[in-house]
Chain A
Amino acid sequence: MKLMDNPAVANVVKSTIAFAILIALWQVVGQLTHAPEHIVPLPSKIGEVFVRTFTSQLHHLGATGFATVCGLALALVVGVLLAIAVIYFASIKGAVLTVLAAFNSIPKIAVAPLFVIWFGLGIESKILLAFLLAIFPVFVNSVTGLGEIEKDMIDLSKISGGNEWRIFTKVRLMHALPYIADSLKVAFPLALVGAIVGEFIGGNRGIGYLILSAQFNMDTALVFAALLSITIFTTLGVGVVVLFEYLFLSWRPSQRAT
């Protein structure tokens, strides 16, 4: 078992086994107790519904995925730009941080209906909700990554003739990359929450809409199948970030430990 010596492979194998046991347990207990299907459907039933509705799942996931990725991209751009502004114009730092902290204390889910009023039932309100949920972790981590750099490193750069632009691209931004990648792992599921809540509130596309309509029909198995779709989507999204870290950020301490 050479392959099992690799801790990463061993980890995947162990998690898969644990997951399989859990599903098997669910199936067996469900069959033995004859749990009503509209309360807790059996895994086999969920799997069957997932396969049967696969094209429709993909269609709705496409809408949700698009809103999520757009919101996340917007959060990345605006969050990093805002962090840059705060770093270079130290005088506005206090004001921006206070305003953002105040904003962040509003439960953003509660303002979702407002977004529907302002931006309609289309994709825009979903993207903006995703953006609103995702921006805070991106911004906070970017401020840390761009700003909390050893003073000697900045002094060295200045004394070597570095202007602000070169110090930004070759020191600050490079230093911030792992922090930003980390924030994306948190921001991605948050953006997804934003998109789905947007779909709950209105519209006729997306996983949120699918779940809601399945709920109206008491089609519990379809609700679970939709949840399975999102889970796969989130895992893929976080996987992309992890792959990026593995390929380009292999020097960071947390990557070395694993």
Chain B
Amino acid sequence: MTIPAAAPVVVRGLSKSFKSVVALQDVSLTVGDRQFVTIVGPSGCGKSTLLRLISGLIPATSGEVDVRGRRVTAPITDVGMVFQSPVLMPWRTTLDNILFVAEMRGESGSQYKARALELIGLAGLAGFEQRRPHELSGGMQQRVAICRALLLNPPLILMDEPFGALDVITRERMGFELEKIWNVTKTTVIFVTHSISESVLLSDRIIVMSARPGRIVQTFDVDLPRPRGRELLSHPAFVRLSAEVRACIEDASTASVQ
């Protein structure tokens, strides 16, 4: 398979060690344009480290990362990011929190107001534009964070366990909502999670990683039709793929224990 030169993300032989601990070992992957790729694996497999390396927030020990054909050597700035916690500024309203990323670029937030309001509607936050984060529920806060990541239409969005801090019921609903939003925006996404059903529900491709040192064990293509609704959870193909991914993760974790 030939890799298109300007594929959103190309990772080659990436390794990262923190002192003597090898967090990530020889990871190579390619993310295609407008693909939703999920990285799934047990805690401590270096998933978050991989995202930080791709975004250039931390330097690699060896190997290289290209984002849209450009070598990453410093924090890249045309990327949207969603963290495990919402990371909202408590002094800003919903609207101003979303516009924050435009202001960080040195642009005036007001010119993106229409776009922000559109995203607020898409995320079901209408009526909460002028509320402060402490007036929103955890799920709503995380939706604000997702809107913020989408505001500038970045070619790439990195999501680091965005629903990890939510309760199970909210988490499942957020999965469906993100899928719905993604069907509208169709941005390239790298999504880190340890929830198997979340990964199958959202992705075009699932990358399974093993625990320390983090390595890619297997890749699954997800050929389920979109939009994917709640009924998908009982679809035989969904159930089968979930079981395969689960078995793969279990194999990987027992292998690393031995």
Binding site for B on A (CB under 8 A): 150, 152-153, 155-163, 166-167, 170-171, 174-175, 177, 249, 251-253, 256
Contacts and interface: CB of A to CB of B under 8 A. Distances in A.
Contacts of B57: 155, 158-159
B77 interface: yes
Contacts of A163: 106
Contacts of A256: 134
Interface stretch (B6-14, B86-94, B166-174, B206-214): B86-94
Contacts of B55: 159
Given A152-B83, A174-B89, A157 B104 contact: yes
Nearest to B78: A161
Nearest to B55: A159
B109 to A, nearest CB: 10
A238 B106 CA distance: 36
B87 A153 contact: yes
Contacts of A157: 104
Nearest to A158: B75
Contacts of B77: 158-161
Contacts of B87: 150, 152-153, 156
Contacts of A152: 83, 85, 87
B222 interface: no
B104 A161 contact: yes
Interface string B63-92: 000000000000111110101010101110
A175 B89 CA distance: 8
B91 A156 contact: no
Q: What 8 A-B pairs have minimum CB-CB distances, sorted nearest first? A: A162-B104, A160-B104, A161-B77, A160-B101, A161-B105, A152-B87, A158-B75, A152-B83
The majority secondary structure among interface residues of chain A is: helix
Contact of A251 (B90, B101, B103, B104): B90
B115 interface: no
Interface of B: 55, 57, 75-79, 81, 83, 85, 87, 89-91, 100-101, 103-106, 132, 134
7 contacts: A153-B89, A158-B75, A159-B77, A160-B77, A161-B104, A166-B103, A170-B103
B105 A160 contact: yes
Contacts of A162: 104-105
Contacts of B132: 251
Residue from A153, A158, A170 whose CB has the most chain B CB atoms within 10 Å = A158
B171 to A, nearest CB: 19
A20 to B, nearest CB: 37
Given A161-B101, A251-B134, A253-B134, 16 more contacts: A156-B83, A159-B55, A159-B76, A159-B77, A160-B100, A160-B101, A160-B105, A161-B106, A166-B106, A167-B104, A170-B103, A174-B89, A175-B89, A251-B90, A252-B90, A253-B90
Nearest to B75: A158
A4 to B, nearest CB: 26
A60 B101 CA distance: 52
B36 to A, nearest CB: 20
Contact of B79 (A159, A166, A252): A159
A252 B89 CA distance: 11
**Residue with the highest number of chain A CB atoms closer than 10 Å, among B79, B89, B91:** B91
Nearest to A177: B91
A155 B106 CA distance: 16
Given A161-B104, A161-B105, A256-B134, A156 B90 contact: no
Contacts of A175: 89
A155 B104 contact: no
